[in-house]
Amino acid sequence: MLKTRFTEMFGVQYPIVQGGMQWVGRAELTAAVANAGALGFLTGLTQPTPEDLVKEVKRCRDMTDKPFGVNLTILPTLVPRPYGEYIDAIIQSGVKIVETAGNNPKPFLPKFKEAGIKVIHKCTSVRHGVTAERIGVDAISMDGFECAGHPGEDDVPNLVLLPAAANVINIPMIASGGFADARGLVAALALGCDGVNMGTRFMATKEAPIHQKVKEAIVGADERSTALIFRTMRNTSRVFNNSVAKKAIEMEHEGKTIAEIGPIVSGQKGKVVYETGDLEHGIWSAGTCMGLIQDIPTCKELVDRMVREAKDIIAKRLAAMAA
């Protein structure tokens, strides 16, 4: 047991979370994380329709009797998504934990609360975290500049962001971005958080439903192997540094529009990367924590190792320093 406010609120054994990842957060991975004692999230919009999401929740339930949640990222898109219908599907499925990201979740909170659903909101700044607490979310996932995907536009790394947030946020908070091992977990707890969220680290597990070549690329990469695209458009995204990312950055510097760059960085192309292992077919999200990932364990092996080593760090190394 490694007990924090987060584990008590969400009924999980360990303060470790597998956050929502487009094309990756499927039942196989989420159930494996849940069975390991951590909190896994299905990625709602990975499922093409709300009806498909209901089926995926059922598939996950067939694999685990432990708590798990659904991630719902709400953003403006070229093709509008029926977010209200996805919310109805989540409620219909009996899921009791939701991770929201993107736009302010305030309009959706009454419906979630009425259904008895706890909401974790993903933030990239202290001010957004304060707002999320004020409008009534139950917990915060605070994403530092190190994270895969969208790190916000403030460029503040977690060594500063997390304690600054902990100074003013009172609800449970998990740390996201750059976490891959027990040292990061203990550091997050010391910085004022109640657990860690990991994406890239869980991609490099046996149960992750992506091609083996992608997992091996993560293990073979280092902390310098990411690229930041859409910086000039203030819609920064951290991705694996492949030829497509380089081309996107080149096009940005040439003054190309999002409509011109979009076709080469589409999510569908990234999906093909995960399915086929063709690492240069499109962009795919990855965090700087690749520099800490050296193997491809099962989710249980990963979680057990992190918890065991975290306890050792706390009970032996840190205790010895304080003695």
pLDDT digits (tens, 9 = 90+) for 213-236: 999 999 999 999 999 999 999 999
pLDDT digits (tens, 9 = 90+) for 161-184: 999 999 999 999 999 999 999 999
- How many structural domains does the chain have? 2
| Residue ending a domain, choose from 204, 234, 265 | 204
Q: Which CATH number characterizes residue 198's domain? A: 3.20.20.70
Based on the fold, state whether residues 24 and 151 are members of the same structural domain: yes
Residue 1 pLDDT? 72
pLDDT digits (tens, 9 = 90+) for 22-80: 999 999 999 999 999 999 999 999 999 999 999 999 999 999 999 999 999 998 766 77
pLDDT digits (tens, 9 = 90+) for 66-115: 999 999 999 876 677 899 999 999 999 999 999 999 999 999 999 999 99
What's the mean pLDDT in 203-211? 98
Based on the fold, state whether residues 49 and 140 are members of the same structural domain: yes
Based on the fold, state whether residues 183 and 239 are members of the same structural domain: no
Based on the fold, state whether residues 258 and 198 are members of the same structural domain: no
Residue 81 pLDDT? 87
162 in Cβ contact with 184 (< 8 Å)? no
Residue at 160 is within a domain: yes
For the entire predicted model, the pTM comes to 0.96
Based on the fold, state whether residues 153 and 185 are members of the same structural domain: yes
pLDDT digits (tens, 9 = 90+) for 133-162: 999 999 999 999 999 999 999 999 999 999
**Distance between CA atoms of residues 243 and 245, nearest Å:** 5
CA 206 vs CA 29, 32, 104, 130, 133: distances in Å: 9, 10, 34, 37, 36
Based on the fold, state whether residues 120 and 260 are members of the same structural domain: no
Q: Where does the chain show beta strands of DSSP type E?
A: 16-18, 39-43, 68-74, 97-102, 118-123, 139-143, 173-176, 196-198, 226-229, 237-240
Task: Map tokens 């510097």 to a residue.
Answer: 253
pLDDT at 21 over 70: yes
pLDDT digits (tens, 9 = 90+) for 282-311: 999 999 999 999 999 999 999 999 999 999
Based on the fold, state whether residues 174 and 231 are members of the same structural domain: no
Full residue range of the structural domain in which residue 272 is found? 226-285
Residue at 317 is within a domain: no
Burial environment of residue 270 by CB neighbours within 10 A (0 to 12, 13 to 18, 19 or more): buried
